[in-house]
Chain A
Amino acid sequence: MALSSLLLLQLFFKRRQTIVKKGTVVEPSGSTKQLIFFFGTMVLVTLFFNRLGFPLSSFLLMLTLLRILGVKRWTFNLPLSFMTAIVCYFLFVQWLKIPLPKGWVGL
């Protein structure tokens, strides 16, 4: 719930900004390419899941997937991925005590 409300807030501000630009840019998506990249990222993250550790993998996964789906602005993309990784870390590792891989970050 906390995460969704955070997203909502961010989105609210984002909407404000994009409304002005709307109507000018409608980019056609190369959906097959997008699909391959999307699936490829999932495979790569799984491949290095143990070595990278959960917090870092979740951050990289979010960052890459968001970018592939067209969230290109780093000022939005980076903090969102970072927040997601932090929230997931505290939710799963600290609160629910799930033994997720630590990796070389050691968290």
Chain B
Amino acid sequence: MFESLQHLINGFGIATTIHNLLYCLIGAIVGTLIGVLPGIGPIAGIALLIPATFGLNPTSAIIMLAGIYYGAMYGGSTTSILLNVPGETASVITCIDGYQMAQKGRAGPALAICAIGSFIAGTIGIFGLVFLAPPLAEAALAFGPPEYFSLMVFGFIVLSNVTGTSLTKSLMMAVIGLIIGTIGLDPVTGDARFTFGSISLLGGIEFVAVAIGLFGIGEVLVNVDQPSEMLEQHVFVPRLRELYPTLQDLKKSIGPILRGTGIGFGVGLVPGPAPVIATYASYMTERRISKHPEEFGKGAIEGVAGPESANNAACQSAFIPLFVLGIPFAPPTAILLGALLIHGVSPGPMLIGQHPELFWGVIASMYIGNFILLILNLPFVPLFANILRIPKKILLPLVILFCITGMYTVNNSIFDIWMMLLFGGLGFLMRKWAYEGAPLLLALVLGPKLEVAFRQSLMISHGDFGVFVNRPISMVFLLATAIFLVIPLIRMVLKKQRKEVS
């Protein structure tokens, strides 16, 4: 424990260099902007800015990209409260009570509580990260290829179970992601697979192209498809002196903030779109334990404080599986994994030992980033709210321009832009027919790792599939996977029986 603190202090030394402070600030500002602007979320945002980090050392790069991720969580709440339009999926819940508060003229306190709650949750979340990650990394050293394989399978199934409305659709997307992931050079033998003689395909499909396509271009196209009257909305812009919450507001909020933090942190550790689930779980909890459940939906401050804290805590704890296991459980951390790999850092149990400056530097920067975001969000909320006044018909072409430019920059290749457009079109159709992009993206990033783990396991066991069930840790993961697959089936059968009875 003291060792962790010692490392953390060293981390602060790294994070407080002018250079890194600047990138932390840029990350926080860009993140808030991305969170505020509907039509572009943290996934496309991080992917777009990866090329901008090519000249940086890995630590500064990840400091900035991580800043975008948690910064977007802060910014997302602004549009929910002022416009009733969630900036990203994790702030859908905030719309319910946040917008009601704004309509009652209490937009200021709602925004302030969001910022304060996010700050408290973020800071506590990082504490958890500091003290949980090193021992978990040590435990993860016992993991061999079979354990990694089973863990990834578990991750896929849980993610598919909790995203979207239909398990079948999500699994289809995951399988498509796995298939796309096999394009390119075979990771074990080096043979070309499914390249059809094309040199551009030898390196595989660029995951940045898929991320920007599905989550950036796809989202823009969905917006273009809407009738234009939808693009104009009334914005509440709070004045600065209206911002401060009353003492009563704070008293009411402190419980939800702490509970939200706990819920968020726990949810962030398991596979799935953690911030989204965390907000739902926190909202439900607050409503259940509240003495005035009827106030929820009509502007209860608890309904804003809890979920907003939860999504920030989940955001921090989602870094644990990424740093400790090298396995991201949600799309934004999957993009961060891609960024780490581009910079030549391969996360896993050895990361903390091999790149202590990166691990502790990034963690220390999160403290600083949260503080910057608190300062940035409280007095400057009116400014960010003004950005919402940029009409979408100007914003959307700008997003497209940045997507195309950003995509070209990754490999200086027109082929990547084509891929991005292809996945953009696909993303639009998927959105229209309610298919989730998250499992596809995650499967694409994890697919090659999954394959390598699978083949290495079979090499160790000389082709015996028993290796996955004979090792206890691996078997636990596979059992859990089986349970997650069977539960929906049982539920379906029960529903049918109930219908037949009635």
Contacts and interface: CB of A to CB of B under 8 A. Distances in A.
A39 interface: yes
Contact of B224 (A26, A34, A43, A54): A34
A31 B230 CA distance: 12
A8 B387 contact: yes
Contacts of A46: 404, 414, 417-418, 421
B3 interface: no
Interface string A5-32: 0011001000100000000001111011
Given A65-B397, A69-B396, A71-B394, 12 more contacts: A4-B387, A8-B386, A11-B390, A27-B228, A31-B227, A42-B424, A45-B404, A46-B414, A46-B418, A54-B405, A71-B393, A100-B408
Contacts of A7: 390, 394
B191 interface: no
Interface in A72-107: 80, 84, 88, 92, 96, 98-101
B405 A35 contact: no
A: interface residue count bin:
35 or more
A31 B224 contact: yes
A56 B387 CA distance: 27
Contacts of A1: 29
Contacts of A71: 393-394
Size class of the contact patch on chain B: 35 or more
Interface of A: 1, 3-4, 7-8, 11, 15, 26-29, 31-32, 34-35, 38-39, 42-43, 45-46, 49-50, 54, 58, 61-62, 65-66, 69-71, 80, 84, 88, 92, 96, 98-101
Contact of A35 (B221, B229, B390, B394): B221
Contacts, number: 95
Contact of B389 (A11, A32, A50): A11
B106 to A, nearest CB: 26
Contacts of B389: 8, 11, 15
Contacts of B409: 92, 98, 100
Q: Which 10 residue pairs spanning A and B have beta carbons closest together?
A: A65-B397, A69-B393, A29-B228, A46-B417, A38-B224, A35-B225, A98-B409, A31-B225, A35-B224, A29-B227
B400 interface: yes
A15 B234 CA distance: 13
A28 B405 contact: no
Interface string B379-414: 000000011011111101110110011001100101
Majority secondary structure, B binding face: helix
B431 to A, nearest CB: 12
Contacts of A49: 404, 408, 414, 417
Given A31-B225, A31-B227, A61 B390 contact: no
B393 to A, nearest CB: 4
Contact of B404 (A11, A28, A61): A61
Contacts of A62: 397-398, 401
B430 to A, nearest CB: 15
Contacts of B404: 42, 45-46, 49, 61
B204 interface: no
B397 A61 contact: yes
22 contacts: A7-B390, A11-B394, A29-B228, A31-B224, A32-B225, A35-B221, A35-B224, A35-B225, A38-B221, A42-B421, A45-B404, A46-B414, A46-B418, A58-B401, A61-B397, A61-B400, A65-B400, A66-B393, A69-B397, A70-B228, A99-B412, A100-B409
A24 B418 CA distance: 42
A71 B404 CA distance: 21
Nearest to A61: B401
Contacts of B217: 42
Nearest to B52: A96
A66 B394 contact: yes
B226 interface: yes
B297 interface: no
B164 interface: no
A100 B390 contact: no
B387 to A, nearest CB: 6
